[in-house]
Amino acid sequence: MVEPVNLLGVKISPVGIEEAIEEIIKSIPKRSGDFFCFVNTHTVMEGYRNPEIANIFDKATANFPDGMGVVWALKTLGHKFKGRVRGTDITLALCSYASKNNLKIFLYGNTEETLLALKEKLITLFPEIHIAGMISPPFRELTEEEDEKIIIEINETDPDILFVSLGAPKQEKWMASHKGKIKAIQLGVGAAFDFITGKVKPAPIWMQKAGLEWLYRLPQQPIKTTKRMLLAPEFIYQVIKNKLKVF
């Protein structure tokens, strides 16, 4: 595995999706709750501004470049790799792998409606897939009793792969706090559930490659997209400053 790179205090593995999948698959037999994150401009800036978040990323088994802004930053700093590692692509690739290798998956997060639609979609795409269970938790902080019940429910179904869709940085915090408590590997895939079900329409490939995915998503998620794009100027400035060694 390629050594991770420090990007504004967040360690990121400068790899493409094939290498990322290989790294994730290696952790499946460990049964120790290893967790993986897929970072973009928003999550890197969260880590840059908040030492607690940066520490969570540091504890992850690996953080992969999801957003095109992060891909651009890593390449600007001299790291060569192919493509990006989107949470959606990883989810589909690992579901395919699981269906072919008799592995069980578990879906955690998002809404009940989305989970039901996702289950139907995954079964259509991968008829042999074994979905051990799914939970849509309350959109609030869980009590200790509720959290313990969720841990027991997940572990009792004995999944190999746990997909977590709580939004960043909530999902990263959740995975870090459950490492060792949950046996399955954990993947914080963000909006992947929404993309796979069609709840949120993905941008055309050419817009994704051009770094214009935000423009396509703006009408669908105006508030969320605007807030994240406001982070771009500082992100670009910090990356360039890092490149030029200016302080």
Average pLDDT score over the chain: 91
Element (H, E) at 231: none
Identify the pLDDT of residue 60: 97
CA nearest 209: which of 82, 51, 113, 20?
A: 82
Both tokens assigned to 76? 């600007």
Identify the pLDDT of residue 234: 87
Q: Identify the three-state secondary structure at position 63.
A: strand
Q: Identify the three-state secondary structure at position 130.
A: strand
For residue 169, count other CB atoms closer than 10 A to its CB: 20
What is the rounded CA–CA span in Å between residue 78 and residue 81?
A: 10
Q: For the whole model, what pTM was predicted? A: 0.91
pLDDT digits (tens, 9 = 90+) for 110-150: 999 999 999 999 999 999 999 999 999 998 899 999 999 99
Environment class of 94 (CB within 10 Å of its CB; exposed 0-12, middle 13-18, buried 19+)? buried
Helices (H), 2-40: 17-27
- The rounded average pLDDT for each run of 10 residues, N- to C-terminus, in the chain (247 residues) is 89 95 96 96 95 96 95 89 92 98 98 98 98 95 96 98 96 97 97 94 76 71 73 85 68
pLDDT digits (tens, 9 = 90+) for 185-212: 999 999 999 999 999 887 787 777 777 6
Residues in the chain: 247
Q: Identify the three-state secondary structure at position 211.
A: coil
Identify the pLDDT of residue 163: 98
Q: Identify the three-state secondary structure at position 139.
A: coil
